[in-house]
Chains A and B, each alone.
Chain A
């Protein structure tokens, strides 16, 4: 009779009912003195208890499927099967080739005034393909002079800027590379790999580098795919202590959001001062109030433990509320000016110092 079958349960229920009725019925007859009568009492009670316990056990086991059979319960079945390789499902034409998460499309030297050609490092135009997010996008990677896969690992600065693609704009890839090269050459900044990307990687409007529930996974791209691609392609220092994110031209929310996210891939972040209560475009939360709450960076500072990150506010404007909510081990610094565009060179210098662990 199967352990999970109805017959066993019926049998146990009938037995329990019969034993209960029998016990109540035979009670007066067993009220006499004598060892044999007492033994009968004990026997009846134990049988009744056991049958009720059996009903409880068998019904719970049927409901939750703990034990499949008697041999399973008693541990007498030692059969093990072989591990079988699953036949791979149909490969759809994937937008992303995971074998090459980073592909170099073009490379050009970066020219530093007063230096010989080749002493400014080089700027590569690359294509990122994210195996987790499914997002593929282009960007730029600046490699400092003397970079080689054999040299010691370099820290990484990810610059997120809406102007990433527009060459000579103040937060365009070419100008960022030129400024980084000049700062490195002047020894004001330690050599670092600098990746420059647009926040609008998911082929639509900038959503603050957040995952849209069931939609484009921009957050996953920046926190998982990008670090993995850069680590596989270049000799990069391990995160988060060796990784910084700089929000330029509209990328400030992205930078601070990624630095305060629990996945924690970045140890240093810099952005223009601001309120940061809402992502650009208000974000997509799939109707979730919880996601809406945590998209507010001030909410994160109030409700999540302070992460071990160093934050810099660079440029004009105010971030009083944000700064007032910063608790150790998180630290915050500010640099001017009071007006004009956010300064790139001092921000890069500060990040370089922070990545080197200097105050």
Chain B
């Protein structure tokens, strides 16, 4: 039974409720004044409590799109070495399903079509030129051999309109936090819905959005890093993915047309990748990100045992020791409720030309999708003004 399947959640809820009913039922039989019966009452309450907590956690996991399967849970894969990828035989981008894009501002989506790409009966409102398309894809890296895992590409309505038949669109690569599945960007952050509304209102130019999990080797936490002697995740996200997208979709091939956005770990990655690969990205949005590589990390050898390599992977260190790259970054945080504030303000102070810094600090908001959804509209508008 899949970790995120509705059946599992239903079974968990039924079990939790059933345990409560059972306690009420056996209550009189446990009512005697002996220590053994007291222990039995306690045990019954504990078992029931655990079932309730289990049901709650299963719901929480699907709601926040943390883990997709049992084997991905922490502990299940502990100690396994990161396997080196093998070359993929398929093309750079494989489309597994396609559905009409969301109506502007509506996060509820039509279910994705099956692998054959057959859509439910197409109406005028769901035609590609009206609704755009949301495709489920897997992107394979030509050079790194890594695979993105399930990801999404949102193609705006204009992509299918005759007036734009020869246009090449700007691209925003959106990456999740860790842990996180690409579905979180669609269901919790509602990025395609917000983008659809901004594009429909003319507040953002038509843009292609590519949405991926931040760690292609999920559940391993790779922090978008070219791991010494291991998987080259930075090169995958910053070189292989743009190249594959350029080969598959009508998008711009210059850095002026490419932006990268992420939240939490994805925010760190957005800024780091833009600073390390200004030949690919000209703008980055980091929502509640951090600006120094993580230390004491569970992935063995993330920085190859080298302080210098860790420094290179820290955006703050790069600003202090390397020239500022020609990119624009927008960093967000909140005055109350998010620990990312001090690091964000310190990073902002280091930014100097030709790099340009922008900040969006809201009064209050925790480290959650609700905060990031609030910030998303201004962030996407900001990106749209910077991409051509």
Contact = CB atoms under 8 A, between A and B. Distances in A.
B326 A131 contact: yes
Given A131-B354, A213-B309, A289-B305, A68 B375 contact: no
Interface string B325-346: 1100010001011110000000
Interface string A68-93: 11011001011111111110111110
Interface string B21-46: 00110011011110000100110010
Interface stretch (A23-31, A107-115, A166-174, A187-195): A23-31
A129 to B, nearest CB: 9
Given A20-B45, A133-B322, A307-B143, A64 B278 contact: no
A220 B277 CA distance: 9
A130 to B, nearest CB: 8
A183 interface: no
A217 interface: yes
B72 interface: no
B221 interface: no
B361 to A, nearest CB: 6
B143 A80 contact: no
Contacts of B388: none
A125 interface: no
Given A80-B378, A288-B228, A291-B229, A305 B143 contact: yes
A72 B364 contact: yes
Contacts, number: 263
A333 interface: no
B358 to A, nearest CB: 5
Contacts of B371: 68, 72
Interface string A6-34: 00000000000000100110011011100
A15 to B, nearest CB: 14
Contacts of B275: 132
Contacts of B321: 214
A213 B358 contact: no
A208 interface: no
A45 B312 contact: no
Contacts of A85: 356-358
Contacts of A75: 370
A133 B278 CA distance: 11
A134 interface: yes
Interface string B80-94: 000011110000000
Which 8 residue pairs spanning A and B have beta carbons closest together? A68-B337, A214-B308, A290-B228, A290-B229, A213-B308, A86-B357, A288-B304, A31-B31
Contact of B382 (A30, A69, A83): A83
Nearest to B88: A305
Contacts of B142: 264, 307-308
A306 B87 contact: yes
A212 B31 CA distance: 73
A51 to B, nearest CB: 10
B interface secondary structure, majority: mixed
A24 B324 CA distance: 66
B301 interface: yes
B338 A81 contact: no
Interface of B: 20, 23-24, 27-28, 30-33, 38, 41-42, 45, 48-49, 52-53, 56, 84-87, 142-145, 226-230, 232, 235-236, 239-240, 243, 253, 275-279, 301, 303-309, 311-312, 319, 321-326, 330, 334, 336-339, 348-354, 356-368, 370-371, 374-375, 377-378, 382
B229 A83 contact: no
A217 B378 contact: no
A interface secondary structure, majority: loop
Given A132-B325, A213-B307, A290-B230, 11 more contacts: A4-B337, A27-B27, A31-B28, A56-B56, A68-B365, A68-B366, A82-B360, A85-B357, A131-B278, A215-B308, A285-B228
Contacts of B323: 94-96, 98, 130-134
A185 B41 CA distance: 96
Nearest to B85: A305
Contacts of A52: 49, 52-53
A84 B330 CA distance: 9
A290 B350 contact: no
Given A227-B279, A290-B227, A89 B351 contact: yes
Given A41-B27, A49-B48, A224-B277, A78 B374 contact: yes
Contacts of B368: 66-67, 72
Contacts of A94: 323
A124 B84 CA distance: 44
B337 A286 contact: no
Given A69-B337, A79-B362, A290 B301 contact: yes
Given A89-B350, A98-B354, A264-B235, A65 B339 contact: yes
B27 A228 contact: no
A294 B103 CA distance: 48
Given A65-B338, A68-B334, A263-B239, A45 B48 contact: yes
B314 to A, nearest CB: 10
Which of A66, A262, A285, A305 counts the most B-chain CB atoms under 10 A from its CB?
Answer: A262
A38 interface: yes
B20 A49 contact: yes
A303 interface: yes
Contacts of B366: 61, 65-69, 72
B307 A286 contact: yes
